[in-house]
Chains A and B, each alone.
Chain A
Amino acid sequence: MFGAPSRRDFLRLSGTLAVAGLAAGCGSPFVSSLTGSQPATADVIYWHLFGGGDGANMATMVQDVQRTSGLSVEATLLSWGNPYYTKLALAASSGRPPDVAISHLSRLPLLAEAGLIESVDEAGLTDAGITRDKFTPAAWSKATVSGTTYAVPLDTHPFVMFYNRTLADKAGLLDGSGRLKPMSGRQGFLDAITAMKDAGGEYGAISSNTADPSTTWRFFLTLYSGLAGPVVEDQGTTITLDRSAAEETFALMQELTVGKKLMPSSATITTVSTLFGQGKVGFLFDGVWQIPTYRGIKLPSGDPLDFDVVPFPAILGDQPRSYADSHALIIPRSGARSEERSRNAVTFVKGLLDDSAIWADGGHVPAWLPTQQSKEFKAKKPQSNYVRAAFDAVYDPPAWYTGAGSDFQNSMGAVITKVLAGQTTPGPAVDEMTAGLQTYADAKPPVG
């Protein structure tokens, strides 16, 4: 009887104390959600989309920057792809976005045109020495939308050729120093893959082409870009797909799979990692971010998988081209961000760039030239082999609907998957691709 009221009093007291304690910090989520003020749960609030090995590397970098700069950083990992970009846009339009965020450069045009991010100048990054001359040119120019640079490229991650060195040696594809001999042209490419198959590979080459539209799109764009320019122009409103170039590309793809059976016509990610991981395939066409997957893998025989990575040579056309994308750091626009927080953001971005040698462990080529040209990076193998691919990089064409993980990549990739599987022929496939592009080109761009 006497216990009840006193316990209630106690609860009331502790409740009041708790609320008072929470309210005390005026940047606390509680107060900012109640009053609409800017949240300040850490000196820098940072959003990224890296899980797995990349996530671990990013965590190391963030810790390192926190230690050297003395700033507290709240890093949040969000789901990759559309959900991430949707959330970033929602946060920016609610006026309380993170201070720093990661974006693929291929997804930059829409964010920039919508005015959701600050330009490098506005954010004060230029003053901190983050300037054009210190970045891989292709990445910097992709970070520039309508003449203004909006993002700080962190890396370039191209689509490349992995090769099994044991099989390549048997096939006579290695030069005196044990590297892949240079090859070029359509025939040189086919010959090398045929040699791999003849050397005892189950297949000459492999690439993930079932239920993986992004990968098939990357493969297509790598080959196609040797012959023609972007598939759409004018911010995506004009279709500039070159019919004969696309047909030639599709023809080569089909020759590899259903024609000469040098590549499996259907292979999921699991098939790919199993076959290449067990040393049964000569070449693997995939992104550099897959390097950690195959590092330290043991073959069924017990020996380690001996592989290397090189950029694509010129296959169709005279110039080598590689599909690539870049992770970049952006400063989402916020009317209410204090100058101090803006300065912190700049310090943080600069810190991550200086640490980008750690980032290169994930297979990425640092876009920050001081790191790219450092001894530390040059010693990294196979990363330093394919720096050239970052300079030959072909990105998704700039448009409001293109980019990593977009519906655009999914619908284009779906057509390419059918070509690789032999379910259609080059002519109708080009028609289908054009029809797909038409719906995007006809839709009214929401911005720009």
Chain B
Amino acid sequence: MTTTTITRAVPRSSDLEVPERTTRSEHNRAGWLFAAPFLVLYVLFLIGPVLIGLLVSFFNTATVVPGLGDWVGVDNYAEVLGSGDFWASMWHSTLFTLLTTPLLVVLPLLFAMFAARISHNQWFFRLAFFAPYVVPSSIVCLIFAFMYTPETGLISHAFAWFGLTAPDFLGSVNGAWFSVVLLTLWWTFGFNFILYIAALQDIPEELYEAAAMDGASPLQQMRRLTIPLLRPTISLVLLLQVLASLKVFDQIYLLLQGGPDKATRPAIEYIYDTGFTSYRGGYAAAATMVYFLVLVLVAATWALLRRGRGAQA
């Protein structure tokens, strides 16, 4: 942070014309001016909604009508915390996270390690695995809804090719989870894959050569060398994955509308349904705050754990 003048050829004497205090106040003024646009927008549009949500959660506010409505104290929170539907939706978000996270942390790692062993045509893997990530969620759902069509869809047929009966992809609860997880795997696989590929490129080739010289098999190399070295990346991918999965909305809403019979409705869709479909803004704001708190706690726990581990190392 401290400014250094060692590398400068200009003699320090020239600084004498600029007294230290002026420099400081200049830095102050310029610093705040440069930071101001960001900070204003940050306070307005990142902090603002948190405060508005908190405020509104104590009122019986209608989402679509101007004004706060009546003060209701903690009634909204009491109702949210006692609502089976709310907790069901929180569980669905969690279940989605539990179903997708292991797949999306482990499989991309495995394939990144495989792909890294191939020296040529890396562009092809980037294209195949990462391209889905630039496709909007609604189009992913359009294509997959088409492929999941009973009897005529491609995936339904693929089951038949292997002599299996396709589950009712959109009509049964298990089928619905299967279809959402498969879609998500296809869609977001590439993101983690790229993060791993980048980390793998930072591992010096010599380490592998030395390991091979010691007679370590490729699997041993992966287990004893690659994975320990990738641990920080894996931990980052895990966190990003958990946070992103807990915020799931698009696929489940678009493909299933939270169905069958709300059996997959995630937390954000619960807020959407109560807040925008039923106009219960105050109540949905209370649900928002509870959900928001859970997400922040997950992130904060991770940060603390990492700091703890960092201090040990």
Chain A residues with CB under 8 Å of chain B are: 82-83, 85-86, 89-90, 92-93, 110, 114-116, 211, 400-401, 407, 410, 414, 442-444, 446-447
Contacts and interface: CB of A to CB of B under 8 A. Distances in A.
A407 B265 CA distance: 13
A401 B64 CA distance: 15
A401 B171 CA distance: 25
Contact of B278 (A83, A93, A401): A401
Contact of B60 (A116, A211, A446): A446
Contacts of A414: 261
Interface string B271-285: 011001111111100
A93 B63 CA distance: 9
Contacts of A86: 272, 276-277
Contacts of B261: 410, 414
B72 interface: yes
A82 B63 contact: no
Contacts of B61: 446
Contacts of B64: 89-90, 92-93, 114, 116
Given A93-B63, A446-B62, A446-B65, 9 more contacts: A89-B63, A90-B276, A92-B64, A93-B64, A110-B279, A444-B72, A444-B75, A446-B282, A446-B283
B209 interface: no
Interface in B234-289: 257, 260-261, 272-273, 276-283
Contacts of B282: 444, 446
Interface residues on B, range: 20 to 34
7 contacts: A89-B279, A92-B64, A93-B64, A444-B75, A446-B60, A446-B279, A446-B282
A400 B278 contact: yes
| Residue from the set B60, B278, B281 with the largest chain A CB neighbour count within 10 Å | B278
B218 to A, nearest CB: 49
B26 interface: no
A2 to B, nearest CB: 32
A447 B65 contact: yes
A443 B279 contact: no
A83 B256 CA distance: 13
B79 interface: yes
Interface in B93-108: none
B280 A446 contact: yes
B285 to A, nearest CB: 12
Contacts of B72: 444
The 3 closest A-B pairs by CB, nearest first: A93-B64, A446-B62, A446-B279
A389 to B, nearest CB: 30
Contact of B283 (A90, A92, A444): A444
A408 B61 CA distance: 21
Contacts of B60: 444, 446
A211 B261 CA distance: 9
B305 to A, nearest CB: 39
